[in-house]
């Protein structure tokens, strides 16, 4: 019976969407993003297959809650807990990661059931061994702020939505004398394992407790309160082991607690559940519910969540080349807005890295900082579209510095994971200072950057002592050294702005230390053992994950990791002509990376790897030697072939918004090749027109005349009606708004971008 109702609901939604689309004017049909709600173009399935690892479920922009299904399957492609290839659901958890290469979270899972069930998730080989259910994508709906599915085993309709800190469930049950809702504090995702869990019944409709766990986040603490719309007939909690053969033990506290609330239901009866989260206490979790969701109107929350997403998506309105591009673009923008995620309570309380509770913070504390990835494009995108949140991000990072003594590396739920190489928080803080953001303490920001760079861990002692990290002393020495040089160059620019001349000279020198990893004989960045000896044997194609001198890459890819000083790299490679020739070779050369190459090296064009972040700036290096048409060729190929509107539409891990941020910038026609110098290098706009509503109230209109798949080369540019000959635009000019017009053609222009005075500069003269 429910299946028919569910099918009718989906059909009605499709019909409504079609009617809405048909009621547009001719102009709106040409540009459906001009006035319509843009959430209809978002397909959260994009990136849920292949290695995209994206979150699928219900949330609001930057929300603390990511409420969605978790498959029974575990593995690398299930880092978010969900993969499109799967057909199992073991529960609906309130926290998920999006696009990461490591799995964690999956906290406070909820599973509606009927009948007597074993309180273990079960085994795929034995369907009766636990409480998981099968499902079909044909009976699943997902859109921004809303998720729905039919659990086949129980014929239960599950619907989910969320506010910032509260997950809202609505379950439509069949008639049952033994309907139940399991609260699972044991199961998590990936590396996660519970260390202490607790649940208690507060009254006839409220449960509360906590889940402490270790995993990628080594000491994660989540508190919750769960309020039911219907009085609980009976509640029991148990210490549950891994197999049904081991009888559960009644308990409310332990390291693997699961509880089940029992009800009697009539056919079609809805039971609703509000689950508030807090990093501080169950009392705060309940207060979050009272502040954000004091009512039981599920449809209103769905509508409000859709409106929250639409407000963010409306900041960029595009006239696409085709309908598939609309879906790809707005899903990409959606993916950039999932994290950094809120990590405080409605009253401002949060738990710091030092595990102390900080009360009534004056900023919104955030977590999930995938900085090795996101410093490259996601954070620069935020400086254009999320100015208010940039200050919260920086204040969160400065608070982390005060609590742990250095800026975050890869911060997750109040934990420093130290994942990936470098101290990439420096670039993000430096960029905010240099762009004039003033919602944080600049003196503290500089102190934090400098203290981070002057540490002694992960090879920094060697950097300070001799300017390079010996390959036999530290794994991934080249990757670390090159990332350190980018960060140190960034500190130098802030020192210069703040009048700290001695520091400027010191960190400028360290920003050049990339030169110490360049072997002139081979023409590659490679591991150095001493001043006079390189690591041998050397193969520029070879990659050995977590064993060699690179991080998820090889010498072909890492030789270009000098976005802060392209001119210096040009000189190392023998001048402009040799640089261009070597860069051409990157996209054509083929070689064997070996059996131990990182799984993250995907999206190969020759040895260029678009599926992993160290390559992301490389296509934008051609304008530095007067060959911008080659950037256009490469960018258009990547935009068309490595981003699609299908579940496998991401060529690699989404990495918390970075893959999508590259696409957003590149589709608009410019990209922060150097993510800290305030310059955006032109590539090839892949839309007809775009309108950016800037946080300062101004509007930037980008237009690409005669644009088409064939007309991918910029012929000339005008800014506010005046000829613009530079092959880049500065952040301060972009934020003034106005009209940026590209005239496109099918052949490279013989004049545009070839004059040396118009080439990008690592340190622009403006």
pLDDT bin (cut points 50, 70, 90) of residue 33 is low
pLDDT of residue 129: 84
Average confidence (pLDDT) over 97-102: 97
Average confidence (pLDDT) over 321-328: 96
CATH class of 39-312: mainly beta
Question: What DSSP string runs through 107-144?
Answer: -SEEEEEES---SS--BTTBGGGSS-EE--GGGEEEET
**Domain 497-615, classified CATH 3.60.150.10, yes or no:** no
pLDDT bin (cut points 50, 70, 90) of residue 357 is very high
Q: Which two tokens stand for residue 10?
A: 């989906």
pLDDT of residue 35: 56
Bridge partners of 743? 705, 716
pLDDT tens column, 246-294: 678 888 999 999 999 999 999 999 999 999 999 999 999 999 999 999 9
Average confidence (pLDDT) over 300-327: 97
pLDDT of residue 36: 76
pLDDT of residue 246: 62
What is each CA distance from 740 to 129, 325, 734, in whole angstroms? 62, 21, 9
- CATH topology match: 39-312 vs 497-615: no
Check whether 225 has a pLDDT greater than 70: yes
Average confidence (pLDDT) over 119-131: 86
How far is residue 288's CA from residue 467's CA, in Å, rounded to a whole number?
50
Phi then psi for residue 583, to 5 deg, are: -65, -40
Check whether 429 has a pLDDT greater than 50: yes
Q: Are strands 738-745 and 699-705 parallel, antiparallel or unpaired?
A: parallel
- Options 3.40.50.360, 3.30.830.10, 1.10.10.10, 3.30.2080.10; which CATH number does 626-765 get? 3.30.2080.10
Average confidence (pLDDT) over 560-565: 98
pLDDT tens column, 530-543: 999 999 999 999 99
Check whether 245 has a pLDDT greater than 90: no
Average confidence (pLDDT) over 87-110: 98
How far is residue 386's CA from residue 383's CA, in Å, rounded to a whole number?
6
pLDDT of residue 244: 61
pLDDT of residue 169: 99
Check whether 684 has a pLDDT greater than 80: yes
Phi then psi for residue 486, to 5 deg, are: -60, -45
pLDDT bin (cut points 50, 70, 90) of residue 167 is very high
Q: Which residues contact 65 (CB under 8 A, 6 or more apart)?
A: 59, 94, 95, 162, 163, 164, 165, 166, 167, 277
pLDDT bin (cut points 50, 70, 90) of residue 6 is very low
* Domain ranges for the chain: 39-312, 497-615, 626-765
pLDDT of residue 521: 97
Q: Which residues contact 457 (CB under 8 A, 6 or more apart)?
A: none
Return the number of other C-beta atoms located less than 10 Å from residue 625's C-beta: 20
Tell me the average pLDDT of the chain.
Answer: 94
pLDDT of residue 111: 98
Q: Find out whether 237 and 258 touch, Cβ atoms under 8 Å.
A: yes
pLDDT of residue 3: 36
């Amino acid at each position: 019976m429910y299946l028919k109702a569910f099918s009718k609901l989906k059909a009605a939604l499709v019909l409504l969407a079609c009617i809405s689309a048909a009621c547009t004017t001719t102009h709106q049909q040409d540009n459906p993003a001009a006035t319509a709600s843009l959430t209809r173009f978002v397909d959260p399935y994009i990136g849920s297959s292949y290695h995209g690892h994206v979150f699928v479920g219900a949330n609001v922009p930057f929300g603390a809650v990511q409420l969605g299904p978790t498959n029974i399957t575990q593995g690398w492609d299930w880092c978010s807990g969900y993969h499109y290839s799967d057909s199992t659901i073991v529960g609906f958890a309130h926290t998920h990661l999006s696009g990461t290469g490591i799995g964690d979270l999956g906290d406070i899972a909820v599973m509606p059931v009927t009948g007597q069930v074993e309180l273990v998730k079960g085994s795929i080989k034995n369907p009766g061994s636990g409480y998981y259910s099968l499902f079909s994508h044909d009976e699943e709906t997902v859109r921004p702020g809303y998720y729905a599915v039919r659990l086949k085993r129980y014929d239960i309709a599950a619907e989910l939505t969320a506010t910032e800190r509260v997950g809202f469930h609505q379950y439509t049950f069949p008639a049952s004398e033994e309907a139940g809702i399991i609260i699972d504090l044991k199961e998590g995702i990936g590396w996660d394992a519970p260390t202490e869990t607790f649940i208690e019944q507060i009254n006839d409709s409220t449960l509360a407790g906590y889940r402490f766990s270790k995993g990628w986040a080594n000491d994660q603490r989540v508190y919750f309160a769960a309020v039911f719309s219907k009085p609980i007939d009976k509640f029991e909690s148990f210490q549950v082991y891994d197999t049904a053969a081991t009888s559960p033990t009644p308990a409310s506290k332990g390291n693997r607690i699961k509880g089940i609330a029992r009800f009697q239901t009539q056919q079609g009866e809805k039971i609703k559940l509000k689950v508030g989260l807090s990093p501080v206490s169950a009392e705060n979790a309940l207060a979050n519910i009272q502040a954000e969701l004091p009512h039981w109107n599920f449809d209103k929350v769905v509508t409000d969540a859709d409106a929250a997403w639409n407000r963010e998506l409306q900041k960029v309105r595009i006239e696409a080349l085709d309908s598939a591009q609309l879906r790809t673009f707005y899903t990409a923008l959606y993916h950039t807005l999932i994290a950094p995620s809120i990590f405080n309570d409605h009253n401002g309380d949060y738990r710091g890295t030092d595990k102390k509770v900080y009360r009534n913070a004056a900023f919104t504390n955030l977590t999930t900082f995938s900085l090795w990835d996101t410093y490259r494009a996601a954070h620069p995108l935020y400086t254009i579209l999320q100015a208010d949140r940039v200050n919260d991000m920086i204040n969160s990072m400065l608070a982390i510095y005060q609590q742990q003594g250095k800026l975050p590396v890869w911060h997750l739920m109040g934990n420093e994971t130290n994942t990936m190489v470098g101290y990439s928080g420096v670039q993000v803080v430096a960029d905010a200072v240099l762009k004039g953001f003033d919602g944080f303490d600049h003196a503290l920001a500089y102190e934090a950057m400098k203290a981070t760079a002057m540490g002694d861990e992960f090879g920094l002692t060697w950097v300070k002592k001799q300017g390079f990290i010996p390959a036999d002393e530290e794994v991934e020495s080249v990757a670390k050294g090159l990332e350190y040089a980018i960060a140190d160059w960034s500190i130098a620019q802030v020192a210069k702005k703040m009048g700290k001349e001695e520091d400027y000279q010191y960190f400028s020198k360290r920003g050049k230390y990339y030169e110490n990893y360049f072997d002139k004989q081979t023409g590659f960045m490679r591991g150095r053992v001493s001043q006079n000896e390189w690591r041998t044997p050397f193969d520029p194609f070879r990659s050995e994950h977590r064993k060699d001198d690179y991080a998820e890459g090889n010498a072909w890819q890492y030789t270009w990791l000098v976005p802060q000083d392209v001119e210096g790299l040009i000189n190392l490679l023998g001048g402009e002509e040799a640089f261009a020739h070597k860069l051409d070779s990157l996209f054509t050369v083929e070689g064997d990376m070996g059996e131990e190459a990182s799984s993250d090296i995907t999206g190969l064009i020759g040895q260029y790897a678009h599926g992993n972040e160290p390559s992301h700036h490389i296509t934008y290096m051609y304008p530095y030697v007067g060959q911008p048409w080659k950037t256009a060729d490469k960018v258009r190929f990547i935009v068309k072939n490595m981003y699609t509107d299908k579940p496998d539409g991401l060529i690699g891990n989404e990495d918390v918004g970075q893959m999508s941020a590259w696409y957003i910038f590149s589709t608009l026609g410019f990209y922060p090749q150097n993510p800290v110098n305030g310059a955006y290098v032109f590539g090839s706009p892949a839309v007809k027109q775009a309108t950016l509503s800037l946080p300062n109230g101004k509007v930037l209109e980008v237009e690409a005349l005669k644009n088409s798949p064939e007309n991918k080369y910029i012929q000339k540019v005008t800014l506010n009606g005046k000829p613009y000959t530079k092959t880049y635009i500065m952040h301060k000019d972009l934020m003034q708004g106005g009209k940026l017009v590209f005239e496109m053609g099918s052949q490279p222009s013989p004049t545009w971008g070839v004059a040396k005075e118009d080439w990008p500069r690592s340190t622009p003269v403006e």
